Structure 1
């Protein structure tokens, strides 16, 4: 079951697609730098900001404290 919040910004949708695709392709999530490159953001801080918002909205789950720690919520 997908627990996606009712409203996500276009950028948040892009980031979720990026994470899902990377996990499907490689079996692990992307780094902040990889996410930024895929969605057109230069700042890792901006990527982290969007990831925190997605986590607060319940669209992502934090799996730990490494560099590939995010997965879409189920």
Structure 2
């Protein structure tokens, strides 16, 4: 089996990305930082924000607004 996961994403980043995709598919909007943290086992909103910024810098996520729910997968 060939993995389609980019080699540079950590397991936690993959979980966050999956959480965002799932939320958009189910509700039409991205999750809050608290919802992301609960889904992937993080209690700190700062840690969630750190991962979101890293994913955005790598081009995996894009923001289409100012709020945290505005993150969308770039690919």
Alignment TM-score, normalising by the size of structure 1? 0.89
Q: Which runs of 4+ in 1 moved over 2 A?
A: none
- Structure 2 residue matching 1:17: 3-state secondary structure: helix
Deviation at 1:67, TM superposition (A): 3.3
CA RMSD of aligned residues (A): 1.3
What is the aligned partner in structure 1 of residue 24 from structure 2?
A: 23
Deviation at 1:5, TM superposition (A): 5.0
1:2-38 Cα distance to aligned partner (Å, 9 max, x none): xx75410000000000000010000100000100000
Q: Which runs of 5+ in 1 are unaligned?
A: none
CA distance in 2, matches of 1:9, 1:66: 24
Alignment TM-score, normalising by the size of structure 2? 0.88
Size of the alignment, in residue pairs? 71
Superposed, 1:10-49 pairs within 5 Å as 10-49=11-50
| Structure 1 range deviating more: 24-33 or 5-14 | 5-14
- Structure 2 residue matching 1:64: 3-state secondary structure: coil
Q: Which runs of 5+ in 2 are unaligned?
A: none
